[in-house]
Amino acid sequence: MEKIWLKNYPPNVPPHIQVAPHASLKTLAEESFARYPGLPAFSNLGHTMTYEAVDEASRDLAAYLLARLHLKKGDRVAIILPNVLAFPVTLYALMRAGLVVVSCNPLYTPLELAHQLKDSGARVAIVLENFAHVLAEAIPGSRVHTVLVTTLGDLLPWPRNHLINFVVKYVKRLVPGYRLNQAIPFRRALKEGARASFPDVTLDGSDVALLQYTGGTTGLPKAAVLSHTNLMANVEQCAAMLGADLKRGTEVVITALPLYHIFALTANFLLFTYLGGENVLITNPRDLPGLVKTLREKRFSVLTGVNTLFNGLIRTAGFAALDFTHLRFTLGGGAAVQRAVAARWKAVTGHPIIEGYGLTESSPVVCVNRLDIDEYTGAVGYPLPSTDIAIRTDKGEESAIGEVGELCVRGPQVMREYWNQPDETAQVFTSDGFLRTGDLARIDETGLVYIVDRKKDMILVSGFNVYPNELEGELAHLPGVREVAAIGIPDEQSGETVALFIVPDDASLTREAVMQFCHEHFTGYKRPRDLDHIFFAKELPKTNIGKILRRALREQYLKQNSPISKPP
């Protein structure tokens, strides 16, 4: 596809980026440590670590892993941490030691975690003690021989560290009992590492930096193999597209999305280390009043999030009274940002949500809107520099401008393969090297990309395509609707029909009101067949970053409405 979007780039944004062949996340970190030693790097639980402090702690941990545990370049290490100060110290230690990060969701069940440990071949795991009991169940059968256990207070100053650890463990009882024979306290590892030599590990851009697992839509999670070049390229691309509006060494980004998710890892963690900014780590983003309190205390300039986070914040007491004068932009991704939520966000903050698009396999950013837009566009923006896209039909042919097809991507940020999954890798790449994203999209004559929906989430009603994003985006305007999900369920007459799952924030909302709204806004085949296809719920299943899981709703519906589950 011709790069028609280049003529609409902001001034001074290049069509291509250059990544040095030996550039790595190790060099990114060490250059920032040297350039911004006294500036704040990461803040959490009332304490801030400077770049110099992160440099020292990550160096000590890297030395421990190499000298005491005898790990070698390329060995895999599992990180099982939420957004706490141990996360950046650990991640940069692994990068500096040439080790491969296996990023794990701390909320995984033992079965889910066991799969990742075994599949990755991780030899060491680093875990917050709150989740050590899950790790203890997951380790048998894996190659993990050593576990470093950290606490919420480990990197905080005395006496705050002891107070927080006491409250977490003995007052709130948030640390279930566990038995790990191979466990070593995180702080002991740092102390021993400080006395050990730290060899300079030479890294090439092609070396693997990260195994990032992605659930996909079926089967067990598989790991995207992301190299140092993949991640460095995406940082350079994002810096080229967004960095002109940011000042090095001054920005403060709110990191409420978990760092074990690729969105926050690149857009917050890596990009703002590159820019010398401060990452404010939010350990529990579900505590919205607590998040609002943190926002009140910080002069934040960038906030990243997903639609459900934005929707929750604007409904939280005290948020509208915050000072937004220092806010440069709000970046939305991970799931479609709804027009109604974007409108409410701008009404409160005075700023539009800048929506972007990406996926795990592309490190993750592919497209992003210009920062100078005034209103919600409905688009995910323009492809980043050095990024090729194609909109293709099921037959692999190029779709015309404005027509819907599968979005395919090629660029330096795109992974090279799935870990130990050659068949899956072959299926996801085209013969000319494009990654099939599984997302349906269209592009307009200016080069703006619009995501229509996930290909596998599309509902087929009597041969007509129904896109859940469209229905959910419109229903978000209905007063009383807090969250909504649309799925397709089997129907004898039309093959599939629409079912709506709604979390109301007004007890007076009725299914009749929802159906009336659907009649006023949607053509016949896009509506639920009757009131029995409209469901109210207290909450909707979500991913770790707050993306609504339509698949889980569909599975739940089919299980409850199968012939076996129905009473005779």
Residue 464 confidence (pLDDT): 83
Neighbours of 433 (CB within 10 A): 11
Residue 217 confidence (pLDDT): 37
Closest to 484 measured CA to CA, from 545, 438, 528, 440: 528
Check which CATH number belongs to the domain holding 533 and give it: 3.30.300.30
Q: Which residue has the tokens 């110099």?
A: 52
Angle CA(414)–CA(420)–CA(426) in degrees, nearest 5?
A: 55
Residue 567 confidence (pLDDT): 40
Q: How far is CA 70 from CA 66, 79, 192, 210, 533, in A?
A: 5, 18, 13, 20, 58
Residue 544 confidence (pLDDT): 82
Residue 220 confidence (pLDDT): 75
Q: How confident is the model over 272-323, as pLDDT tens digits?
A: 999 999 999 999 999 999 999 999 999 999 999 999 999 999 999 999 999 9
Q: How far is CA 167 from CA 37, 80, 86, 186, 290, in A?
A: 32, 21, 19, 19, 17
Residue 562 confidence (pLDDT): 57
- Structural domain containing residue 157: 45-203
Is position 334 within any domain? no
Q: Cα dihedral angle (397, 401, 405, 408), rounded to 10 degrees?
A: 80
Residue 564 confidence (pLDDT): 45
Is position 487 within any domain? yes
Residue 216 confidence (pLDDT): 46
Q: Which of 203, 224, 257 is the last residue of a domain?
A: 203
Is residue 437 within 8 Å of residue 408, measured between CB atoms?
Answer: yes
* Structural domain total, the chain: 2
Is position 529 within any domain? yes
Is position 300 within any domain? no
Q: How confident is the model over 222-258, as pLDDT tens digits?
A: 999 999 999 999 999 999 998 777 999 999 999 999 9
Residue 560 confidence (pLDDT): 86
Is position 59 within any domain? yes
Is residue 77 within 8 Å of residue 144, measured between CB atoms?
Answer: no
Is position 159 within any domain? yes
Is position 415 within any domain? no
Segments of the chain scoring below 50 in pLDDT: 216-218, 564-568
Is position 453 within any domain? no
Q: Which of 173, 203, 233 is the last residue of a domain?
A: 203
Q: Which of 203, 230, 253 is the last residue of a domain?
A: 203
Buried b (16+ CB within 10 A) or exposed e, 205-222: bebbbbbbbebbeeeebb
